[in-house]
Each structure stands twice: as structure tokens, then as C-alpha cells.
Amino acid sequence: MTKIPMRYCPGCGHAIVHRLIAEVIDEFDIKERTIGIAPVGCAVFLDEYLNCDMIQVAHGRCPAAATGMKRVRPDVIVFSYQGDGDLAAIGTAETIHAATRGENFTVIFINNAIYGMTGGQQAPTTMPKQKTTTSVYGRDPKIHGYPIKVCEMLSALDGPVYLERVALNKAANVLRAKRALKKAFRIQLDGLGFSLVEILSPCPTGWGLTPRKACEYVDEKMIPYYPLGVYKDLTQKKPT
């Protein structure tokens, strides 16, 4: 990581995940081979915090850029870091198609069920009854439709090798998140294919909650709707 102080809100999950990624990269000693892709969203400044080659890409298009990079330079380690709007709204097609092509890179999906950077609008992962600035009475499936469950959706494709959903609301989950990230990078290093780690992340500012309450919100509201766990893992042999 660089020495630049992070500008994230108190209680934001980004700071935790940045640290986990940096640890994974250092533990594999791959900093000099790694290129990170920053999204549009609060993490647009990712390049200021992670001290490796970095590129910021148009909204939603990280998986396309990653595809271009890995096909030309398969030896480079590439990860994309995206929020819910980037990955599941404007970038839905790029996400699904990179996954189905089985491109050999790692997607880190920060799911905070809201659009943080632009002030708290509804996201594709905003849950029913959750209030946002563009659904002030709460998300109503009759008007706003239903959320997208990314891990579940991608698990229907043959392309992905590893899909897991984790959360940051308590220490045990943070450790589990790190294990998942490490596994995802391991899969890329082994040239096995596409991996995605979905990380349920608190957004105190977007949700109008204190950091502590935001962690409770992840626990009480998000995890029941977006169950944690492994949704696909081709590295595990099927039990006979």
C-alpha cells in the first residue's frame, strides 16, 4: 500500500478490503507482476492506495479491460475491483461475458447495496424496503424490480471456476474474506480461470447509520438476503 491516507468514510469496507488485497499480493510476492483495475465509484481512487501498476477504466468495463490485458499478457496478474453499480448495473454484460469466457483474472466485487460515490442512490443490489435517494419510500419490487444476486447468477455459467460471497461485518468474516481473496488469486496464478469474490460491505454514510449499526445491518439484513458461502468451486473434486 502507499502511504497516502485513505479518504473513505469511517466504517467503510473499502479500507479493509484494500488492506486484505495488499496482504494477499505481498504474501504471494506478486506486486511486481500485478495490475489492478479501479472502477468508477468510491474506489476510483484505488490507484492512490495500492502500490502496484494501476489503471482506472470506464464505468462497468473493468472485465473487458482485464480481458484485453490478460489475453495480451497472460503472465501478468490482473484483478478488477468493482462496486454494485459498476459490476451489476452498467457492467452486467461485461461481468457475465468475461465470466462465461472464463478469462483468467480475479474480480473483487464490493457489494454495499447502494451507490456510495454519487450520494446514495438505488443499486441493483439494493434490497426490498431499503431506502435510497432514488427510492425514498424504500425499494418496492412492483416499481423497482428485484435485486440481482450476483454469485447465484454467475454460478449458472460454465465459465467461472470459483465464486464465493463473504462479508466484513465482524472479524471472523474478515478473515474468511481474506481466505477467499487468497484462493481467488491462487486460481489465477495457477492459470485455472475466472474467479469472483463478492464482499458484503458496510456503507455507513449511504445507509445513514453509525459504523457499528452498519455492521449490524450487514449481519441482520444483508446476510439473510445474500447468504454467505461458496457458490461455485471447480477446484474441489466432487465427492464420489
Partner 1 sequence: MKGNEALAEGAVRAGCRFFAGYPITPQNEIPEYLSWRLFEVGGTFIQAESEISAINMLFGASAVGARVMTSSSGCGISLKQEGISYMTAAELPCFYASVVRGGPGLGNISPAQSDYFQSTRGGAQGDYRVICLAPNSVQEMGNFPKLAYDLADKYRNPAMVLADGLLGQMMEPMGFTFDFIDVDKLPPKDYILTGCKNRKRRIINTLRMDSDRLEKFNWKLYEKYKRIKENEVRYEERYTDDADIIIVAYGTAARVSIDTLVRGREEGIKIGLIRPITLWPFPRKIINELASRVENFLVVEMSIGQLIEDVQLAVEGKAKIHFHGRPGGNVPTGEEVLKAVKQALK
Q: Site residues (CB under 8 A) for partner 1? A: 31-35, 37-38, 44, 47, 51-58, 61, 64-69, 71-73, 76-77, 93-94, 96-97, 101
Q: Residue 91 is placed in which grid cell?
A: 457492467
In the complex with partner 1, the residue whose CB is nearer, 39 or 202, is 39
Closest CA to 89 of 122, 136, 50: 122
Cα(113)–Cα(172) distance, rounded to whole angstroms?
A: 21
Residue 54 DSSP SS3 = strand
Minimum distance, C-beta of residue 229 to partner 1, in the bound complex (Å): 28
- CB nearer to partner 1: give 53 or 233: 53
Give least dist CB 4 to partner 1, A: 12
In angstroms, give the least distance from the CB of 50 to partner 1.
9
Report whether 135 contacts 169 (CB < 8 A). Answer: no
Question: Residue 59 CB, nearest distance to partner 1 (Å)?
Answer: 8
Give whichever of 11 and 36 is closer to partner 1, judged by the CB atom.
Answer: 36
Closer to partner 1 by CB, 58 or 127: give it.
58
- φ, ψ of residue 9 to 5 degrees: the values are -65, 155
Q: Which is closer to partner 1, CB of 52 or CB of 196?
A: 52
**Minimum Å distance from CB 131 to partner 1?**
29
40, 100, 181, 236 from 156: Cα distances, Å: 27, 10, 21, 17
CB of 218 within 8 A of CB of 184? no
Looking at the Cβ atoms of 154 and 214, the one nearer to partner 1 is 154
DSSP line for 25-65: HHHHT-GGGEEEEE-SSGGGGHHHHS-SEEEE-STT-HHHH
Give SS3 for 59.
coil
Closest separation in Å from C-beta 33 to partner 1: 4
The residues facing 53 across adjacent strands are 35
Q: Are 50 and 56 in contact (CB under 8 A)?
A: no
